Structure 1
Amino acid sequence: MRHTYYAPRGGLPPQTDLLTDRAMFTEAYAVIPKGTFSDIVTSALPFWEGARFWVLSRPLSGFAETFSQYIAEVQPGGGSKRPETEKGVEAVLFVVEGEITLQIDGKTHRLGEGGYAYLPPDKAYELHNGSDKAARFHWIRKAYQAVDGLDLPDVLIANENDVAPTPMPDTNGAWATTRFVDPADLRHDMHVTIVTFQPGAVIPFAETHVMEHGLYVLEGKAVYRLNQDWVEVEAGDYMWLRAFCPQACYAGGPGPFRYLLYKDVNRHMGFGRAGV
């Protein structure tokens, strides 16, 4: 079974639309509904051609601080020979529409829909759209937390359609996670996975933990518990959770509810001192 992925198109709502929407920013979480991804909120970045970016999250003091996440839209012929401009930054790419080409370590990789790439810190690469239609993909960036005695992770290229989901215990497959990285590989300090709930499935407790989250809904709809609130979400919506924000879920649609999930993992908690 091949999956479907929601991708924004931009545009601008008509003047006749009401302002009321589900957009929300609190001390514990943010919800960015798909209707807010208009043309006027995109950003341009250095050394990119034929590209624009919706910024979904960025480090904010007192909120989620470990990562940034964009949706990139690259037109045919567009791309970059120097996508990353900061040192020490690792990345994950996940393609939701079209196709991109990565050139890295002298090899060329074509990533279609469902394509995943992990890029270690300070790894030089080029990214281009050689197809005849626009490509859209998530770009998740994090300052890598090196640990003395651990090597850097390797480049990893995969596709969701080739990775079997892992059912969560005692759920009979109603709740499953597609993992691209071995959870036991402590070289990695972030995981980007895909979580799938079958219709009617739930997270049956309020998860409360140290990991920060970015959740982009790829498919379906649900009611999601965020701190003390229950929020309706659907394909194309984005949720941003700070550490320890309680969360739970009821999958409420006729089909699967699926989201792309970021979390920080496998590192001690820093104390803000120089070099920590």
Structure 2
Amino acid sequence: MNTPSYFAPTGGLPPQTDLLTDRAIVTEAYTVIPRGVLRDIVTSNFPGWTRTRAWILAKPVQGFATTFAQYVVEVGPGGGSEQPEPEAGVESVVFLMSGRLDLTVEGAEHHLEPGGYAYLPAGADWTLANPGETPASLSWVRKPYEPAPGIDAPKPFVTREQDIAPTPMPDTDGTWATTRFVDPDDLAHDMHVNIVTFQPGGTIPFAETHVMEHGLYVLEGKAVYRLNNDWVEVQEGDFMWLRAFCPQACYAGGPGPFRYLLYKDVNRQIRLT
């Protein structure tokens, strides 16, 4: 595949001469957090992490995300954490967008470069460290793991986007494809974090309306996204949260590919009690 491109925010502040108007939108059905609001003064620090800051994009609050949390994390040179996950029942996916990271999972060492992807099951022993001389930026998705009767919990794994062939969607001539890091039929997993790619002009040709909640972080390119009743322009570095059953579709605007990291909850019965 071609060398992938991943956008990561760098913070800073706009000049006092800039207009206040921006593209941020918060509704009951969806939220758009544009890259222009990911500034220094809205970062968070985490206990147990050194030389690290994070932009928290989604967390479970009333009227917003219900199943997951998602961050962009910037780890400075020499920074990282020996105990990054504070909750034993929470699983994670980390996806590296820039820089280098050393990841240790259950005693096994891995060296991540941009495109590196790791699934870290609930209760796993893992650490992260930046051995380089420049900051490393990653997307971090966290979700409480929901066990299923008679099914063993999934094991950790580490891979790269570059090593996985995208799966074209049917009847699209390859203009819409998904890089799947987990087999959709593997019921051990209760979430998928994949990369969706549209070539210029590619489209979702109907308004998807489904039970899965979404977090979408745009890695590359631009598009016009249909969210509920609205058409919204988005670009690399933007984040979208879509509630369950929010109608959704898009047109990729070009001139290059439009790509995003997509979270969704999957493979579990609806809890009623």
Per-residue CA deviations over 1:213-234 (Å, capped at 9, x if unaligned) read 0011111100000000000000
| Equivalent residue, structure 2, for 1:101 | 102
CA offset at residue 61 of structure 1?
Answer: 2.5
CA distance in 1, matches of 2:202, 2:107: 44
The unaligned stretches of length 5 or more in structure 1 are none
| Equivalent residue, structure 2, for 1:4 | 5
| Equivalent residue, structure 2, for 1:157 | 158
Kindly indicate whether residue 93 of structure 2 is the aligned counterpart of residue 92 of structure 1: yes
CA distance in 1, matches of 2:100, 2:166: 23
Per-residue CA deviations over 1:76-127 (Å, capped at 9, x if unaligned) read 1000000011120000000000111111222110110000000000101111
Amino acid in structure 2 at the alignment position of 1:253: G
| Equivalent residue, structure 1, for 2:129 | 128
| Equivalent residue, structure 1, for 2:177 | 176
User: Residue 71 of structure 1 contacts residue 138 of structure 1 at CA under 8 Å; is this kept in 2?
Assistant: yes
CA distance in 1, matches of 2:159, 2:99: 16
TM-score w.r.t. length of structure 1: 0.97
| Equivalent residue, structure 1, for 2:120 | 119
Kindly indicate whether residue 192 of structure 2 is the aligned counterpart of residue 212 of structure 1: no
Q: Within 5 Å, which residues of 2 pair with 1:1-276?
A: 1-271=2-272, 273=273
Per-residue CA deviations over 1:12-47 (Å, capped at 9, x if unaligned) read 111111110100000100000000000000000110
Per-residue CA deviations over 1:56-85 (Å, capped at 9, x if unaligned) read 000122432000000000001000000011
Question: SS in structure 1 opposite 2:119?
Answer: strand
Q: Which moved more, 1:57-66 or 1:26-35?
A: 57-66
CA distance in 1, matches of 2:195, 2:169: 13
TM-score w.r.t. length of structure 2: 0.98
User: Residue 66 of structure 1 contacts residue 212 of structure 1 at CA under 8 Å; is this kept in 2?
Assistant: yes
CA offset at residue 131 of structure 1?
Answer: 1.1
CA distance in 2, matches of 1:183, 1:60: 28
Question: SS in structure 2 opposite 1:11?
Answer: coil
CA distance in 2, matches of 1:106, 1:96: 24
CA offset at residue 253 of structure 1?
Answer: 1.6
Amino acid in structure 1 at the alignment position of 2:241: W
Question: SS in structure 1 opposite 2:225?
Answer: strand
CA distance in 2, matches of 1:120, 1:223: 34
User: Residue 223 of structure 1 contacts residue 233 of structure 1 at CA under 8 Å; is this kept in 2?
Assistant: yes
Amino acid in structure 2 at the alignment position of 1:192: V
Identity across aligned pairs (percent)? 64
Per-residue CA deviations over 1:107-160 (Å, capped at 9, x if unaligned) read 110110000000000101111001111100001000000112110101110100
Question: SS in structure 1 opposite 2:206?
Answer: strand
The unaligned stretches of length 5 or more in structure 2 are none
User: Residue 30 of structure 1 contacts residue 240 of structure 1 at CA under 8 Å; is this kept in 2?
Assistant: yes
User: Residue 64 of structure 1 contacts residue 243 of structure 1 at CA under 8 Å; is this kept in 2?
Assistant: no
CA distance in 2, matches of 1:62, 1:122: 29
Runs of 4+, deviation exceeding 6 Å: none
Question: SS in structure 1 opposite 2:152?
Answer: coil
CA distance in 2, matches of 1:266, 1:203: 23
CA distance in 2, matches of 1:93, 1:151: 22
Q: Which moved more, 1:105-114 or 1:167-176?
A: 105-114
